[in-house]
Amino acid sequence: MPRDAARKGALRLIAGVREGNALSDQAGAIARLSPPDRARAQRLALGVLRNIDRADAVLVQHLSKKPRPEILDALRLATVELLEMGEAPHGAVNAAVGLVRGMGPKGRAAVGMVNAVLRKVSGHGPEWAELPPEEMPEWLRDPVVATWGEEIAVAIETAHQNGAPVDFTAKPETTAPGEPLPTGSFRQRSGGQISALPGYEAGDWWVQDAAAAIAARLLDPQSGERIVDLCAAPGGKTMQLAAAGADVTAVDVSASRLNRLRENLERCGLTAQVVEADALAWRPAGPPDAILLDAPCSATGTIRRHPDLPLIRDGSAIAGLAELQARLLDHALEILKPGGRLVFATCSLLPQEGEDQLAAVLQRHPGLVVEKPDLPGIAPEWITAQGGLRLRPDYWPDLGGMDGFFIARLRKPEAGL
């Protein structure tokens, strides 16, 4: 493999984000790297994306004009390595010079500038520590401030800045790596190869953010119940339902994501009926006892794990997503048996995709009841006046935060009511 393969891979990923591609869609950009280099490339790219404005705030002090995008990316990478990751100055600076020199004639012409700028940047450690966290884009920050205020917005941004540890959900009567969390998940703060951890080959657990795992726990699946997981892939919640002994049907429109779901089920020794279909068009043979609807959304609650999201989205899709969520809710209630329960969830910070959806569906469906959460580890202040559950990245600051979610459990009226 070429020298500095991981850094080159990181720059390819960063360039892809600059062009509007999510990191999760760029597996091919680093597919030829060795597993350790691939992991390092991802780690470096995440570090830059999580600190891109902070790096620019330092770099602009030493640049007479804005460099070409690929050269600026190399400067950002070295800046983050120096000031955030603690890389030795000679290593980070020399690596950046080598990367730029390999970018052709215009890169070679910039070598002297890159070397001089980064040697100055290496002295900015104290200033770096005082820089504020990366701000959310206005289309997200404005509604967050309007809902919770400036102080909470900064706390959420701080959680985004800190990134996310790895959480696991364990099968009943088993445990997972890391420390137990109040809600029943497990958390490992240090890195490492997931497949090498104890219990992976045995299928004792799977990776799933602690906030996401609460949705299935709130549904309270029972052995033998017929439960539908709408928009199910990649399957963390499906596996929770199956592990509880439910008869699960997992529905999703994405064939590739359903393949991942099947692989996860097989590794963990769990079974579910997997259906590739548009959730809005699909109908079960008979009304299920319960439905879990983790609806498509803006994913704004997951920025701590996906710092590329604010850079590739502009909020223009939110109105359409909110309309889709409402249609999915109505369809789920239509196919649910009378008296059955429905858990609605979105990994969003926006009330438009959470609290507002709950208020609207209650108006559209008289007799629908919100059942307040009663689960271990749920703080009373997380429960909204409506009876929904609002989770935010700034919760659990001492434990490493959580994804932002809105979750609500609804009870359909009995027939004839």
| Residue 2: per-residue pLDDT | 54
347 is catalytic: yes
Same domain, 231 and 109: no
- Cα Rg, the chain, nearest whole Å: 23
Among residues 130, 157, 180, which one ends one of the domains?
130
| Residue 192: per-residue pLDDT | 75
Same domain, 124 and 170: no
End-to-end CA distance of the chain: 68
| Residue 190: per-residue pLDDT | 79
Same domain, 298 and 363: yes
417 residues of the chain, pLDDT tens digit each: 456 999 999 999 999 999 999 999 999 999 999 989 999 999 999 999 999 999 999 999 999 999 999 999 999 999 999 999 999 999 999 999 999 999 999 999 999 999 999 999 999 999 999 999 999 999 999 999 999 999 999 999 999 999 999 999 999 999 999 999 999 999 998 777 888 899 999 999 999 999 999 999 999 999 999 999 999 988 999 999 999 999 999 999 999 999 999 999 999 999 999 999 999 999 999 999 999 999 999 999 999 999 999 999 999 999 999 999 999 999 999 999 999 999 999 999 999 999 999 999 999 999 999 999 999 999 999 999 999 999 999 999 999 999 999 999 999 999 754
Same domain, 118 and 174: no
- Nearest CA to 51 out of 166, 209, 157 is that of 157
Same domain, 118 and 47: yes
Q: Are 403 and 242 in contact (CB under 8 A)?
A: no
Number of domains in the chain: 2
139: in domain: no
Among residues 70, 102, 130, which one ends one of the domains?
130
153: in domain: no
154: in domain: no
145: in domain: no
* pLDDT tens, residue by residue, 78-130: 999 999 999 999 999 999 999 999 999 999 999 999 999 999 999 999 999 99
Same domain, 239 and 363: yes
Same domain, 123 and 213: no
22: in domain: yes
- Tally Cβ neighbours within 10 Å of residue 335: 17
User: What domain range is 48 assigned to?
Assistant: 5-130
156: in domain: no
Same domain, 260 and 377: yes
Same domain, 217 and 90: no
For the record, the structure tokens of 31 come out as 């597919």
Q: Are 92 and 47 in contact (CB under 8 A)?
A: no
Distance CA 108, CA 374 (A): 62
Same domain, 198 and 327: yes
Taking the model in full, what pTM does it have? Answer: 0.94
Same domain, 242 and 330: yes
| Residue 1: per-residue pLDDT | 41
Q: Are 350 and 302 in contact (CB under 8 A)?
A: no
Same domain, 354 and 261: yes
CATH number for the domain harbouring residue 372: 3.40.50.150
CATH number for the domain harbouring residue 101: 1.10.940.10
Entry field: residues in the chain: 417
| Residue 225: per-residue pLDDT | 98
In terms of C-beta distances under 8 Å and separation of at least 24 residues, what long-range contacts does 119-123 make, across chains too? 119/89, 119/93, 120/61, 120/62, 121/58, 121/59, 121/62, 121/75, 121/78, 121/79, 121/82, 121/83, 122/82, 122/83, 122/89, 122/92, 122/93
Among residues 103, 130, 157, which one ends one of the domains?
130
150: in domain: no
151: in domain: no
